Amino acid sequence: MSNRIYRQHGRPQSAERLTFKYPIPPDKLKLFSKHGYVERPKTAAVDYLEHMLTKTSLTTQKASHENIEEIGRNVYERKVLRFQKEKELAVQNAISETTKQLLQQFDKELRSKLQNAYNEKERALENQLTYYENLAGSTKTNRDLLENERKHQLIEKMNKEKEDALKQQWELAEKLKAEAIEVALTEQHKKLRSIAVIEREDAVAQALRVAKKQSTTKVEKEVTDTQSYCKKITDEMLEKQKRLHQVEIRHLNERIAQLTQESRRFHHNEKTAQKDYVDIESDYSKFLDLTETTPCHSDYLITPRKHLHGIGTGRLSKETQTNLIALEQDTRTVQTDIQICAIR
């Protein structure tokens, strides 16, 4: 600090030249001030003291010399104290001035540094903002790419799962279709067998009893009533089937259409079988007209009738009438009405 102060005022910077050495001759006395070391010039008082010392006696000179030395010491001490105070005051002033200048310079530099720091901060914030905006843009782009890729993967996965599910449903539908067809065929065969046995015997016997009492109009009426009854039963069965299989019907419309075609084909075959049955029954009736039974229990043990000029002697057929009433193709029963008028 002291070196900087002396350097500002143009004083020597060496510490040895700042050292004070007392006492020194009065004519060579150096005073310390804010301008540095200066020699004290000679005055009339100094000349008068020298004249007193040189013009008096030795004793007077000695006594005066001692007094002068004491006075000089006192003056010297006061001067030294004053010089010391001036020195300290100068130092304090220099320190204050330097401190003030330093504070001003520090304040100026601080404001400059703060402004630079603020500018640097603003630039850094702008750079960071630009960086993070770019980063956000790249992040958004990457996110969109990842989302699109993820959506594509999910779509592929869902399509694959959909195909697998459709394949499983198709296989299940095919299996259910096969089972339904098998069950339907089994039930139909059972019904046909039972109808072919029971209905044939009961219907033929009933037809033989009723045919002798009813007229053609009554037969037609019974046919109409039977058709209505069978249609009613068929509708009830179809409604029941619809209620039981409404869920399967929704999911297997195509299968139902195929099954419907199979059912129509089956009904066509059924009609064909019914027609064959009518033909066989007609042939059987003709066969009965041309043959006669034996005493045995079996109806199949028969013998040919004796013909007389082409006409049987035991049983002459005058009129043979066979009426087969086939219901609609949706029914499962067949009623046969045979009227045979024979003259033995």
Residue 47's pLDDT is what? Answer: 66
Tell me the domain boundaries of the chain.
2-123, 214-343
Cα distance between residue 23 and residue 17, in whole Å: 16
Give the amino acid at 82.
R
Block means of pLDDT (10 residues each) for the chain, length 344 residues?
Answer: 41 41 45 48 62 59 65 78 84 85 86 88 89 88 88 88 87 86 82 73 74 66 79 79 68 74 89 90 83 55 47 40 38 39 38
| All residues at 6 or more sequence positions from 315 whose CB lies less than 8 Å from its CB, including other chains | 289, 292, 305, 342, 344
Residue 60's pLDDT is what? Answer: 55
Residue 52's pLDDT is what? Answer: 63
Residue 253's pLDDT is what? Answer: 73
Tokens standing for residue 276? 């064959």
Tokens standing for residue 157? 């996965």
Look at the block and give the residue holding tokens 């039981």.
244
| All residues at 6 or more sequence positions from 189 whose CB lies less than 8 Å from its CB, including other chains | none
For residues 79 and 73, the answer to whether their CB atoms sit within 8 Å is: no
Longest dimension (CA), the chain: 226
Give the amino acid at 332.
R
